[in-house]
Amino acid sequence: MSLKGKDIISALQFTREEVEYLFRLAEKLRKEIDEKGILDYAKGKIMVTAFFEPSTRTKLSFQFAMKRLGGEVIDFEVTTSSLAKGETDIDTLRIIDGYNPDVIVLRQKKPHFPEQIAPMIKAPIINGGDGWNEHPTQALLDVYTIWREFGYVDGLTIGIMGDLKYGRTPSSLSYLLSKFKDITIYYIAPQPLQIRDEVVEKIEGKVTYYKVEKLEEVIDKLDVLYVTRLQKERLPDPSMYEKLKGIYKVDLQVLAKAKKIPVIMHPLPRTWELDVSVDNLRQARYFEQAQNGMYIRAALLKEVLGV
């Protein structure tokens, strides 16, 4: 497998072999990091994080991952930069690229921006989220978490619930799951937030999927329930948020009705859709999921850097 020097734009670009290779590498790096703290694979390499949209986990876990690999990190500070003077994102990235970083992790609010800019940029670009479109490294950590939990991915039934229309994690997660066998996905959402056609078109024939409105209809079938927040900042009109706020929610009361409580995941941040009362269940995996992000991103960086 070689991801050396490649742009990482979409979860669709990976082969199953690459994904499984990255999972095993993440396990190996986890052991080495736990033993030694800082490794030296990426010594002398520089990663830039350029996030034009807010982030906690994605940016921090990439930064931690690069440091743990022994590399250097430079963060492009959006708020204090010349963006405030009207400089465009494209010019900004060309300037960053001119200083010859070894990799750039980019988050941008325009869907498909990473694939448009990548040909103009020498350094490999890793997409850290492009608007509502995709979040491929989130999908890697999501499926990595599932794989660690069950020991396999084939044959599992996953419920993806919440804002499937304006969210970018449901699309990338669907694409990555489509690389595995006998996957069933239940898209659980009120009509205005259901999964985009363009997403299901890409997994057609590879995954069995159903669209449903209510969790109660399907909860007993699920191995995993993946909850997402309503993407307030991406809704076309603010009154939509007020109308849809609180329309779906996972709490102990809802889960008590299930014959078997599935593994519960969430990309975070959460708002009102996932109650803190769920946190103490052994099936709650979202904090562990966020932690897994650092190891799988370390694995991805190691491969993209070719070190």
Binding site for ligand NCD (CB under 6 A): 57-58, 129, 135, 138, 168-169, 228-229, 267-268
Q: Exactly one of 30, 45, 107, 297 is catalytic; which is it?
A: 107
> Does the active-site annotation cover 24?
no
169 vs 184 by CB, closer to ligand NCD:
169
Give 131's contacts (C-beta < 8 A, 6+ positions apart). Answer: 108, 109, 110, 111, 112, 113, 168, 234
Q: Residue of minimal CB distance from ligand NCD? A: 267
62 vs 307 by CB, closer to ligand NCD:
62
Q: Which residues pair with 76 in a beta bridge?
A: 50
| DSSP output for 236-300 | SSHHHHHHHTTSS-B-HHHHHTSSSPPEEE--S---SSB-GGGTTSTTB-HHHHHHHHHHHHHHH
Least distance in angstroms from the C-beta of 271 to ligand NCD: 9
Give 41's contacts (C-beta < 8 A, 6+ positions apart). Answer: 69, 70, 71, 302, 305, 307
Least Cα distance to 297 among 153, 128, 147, 159 occurs for: 128
> Does the active-site annotation cover 302?
no
Q: Exactly one of 79, 80, 85, 259 is catalytic; which is it?
A: 85
Least distance in angstroms from the C-beta of 281 to ligand NCD: 20
What's the rounded Cα separation, in Å, for the pair 143 and 162?
A: 18
> Does the active-site annotation cover 58?
yes
Least distance in angstroms from the C-beta of 299 to ligand NCD: 17
What's the rounded Cα separation, in Å, for the pair 113 and 107?
A: 9
Q: Exactly one of 135, 165, 229, 297 is catalytic; which is it?
A: 135
> Does the active-site annotation cover 107?
yes
7 vs 142 by CB, closer to ligand NCD:
142
71 vs 267 by CB, closer to ligand NCD:
267
Least distance in angstroms from the C-beta of 169 to ligand NCD: 5
Tokens of residue 20, six digits: 């499984």
> Does the active-site annotation cover 85?
yes
Q: Exactly one of 30, 45, 49, 58 is catalytic; which is it?
A: 58
Strand pairing report for 224-227 and 208-212:
unpaired
Residue 72: exposure state from Cβ atoms within 10 A (0-12, 13-18, ≥19): middle
57 vs 112 by CB, closer to ligand NCD:
57
Least distance in angstroms from the C-beta of 138 to ligand NCD: 5
Residue with tokens 């699920």: 222
Catalytic residues: 57-58, 85, 107, 135
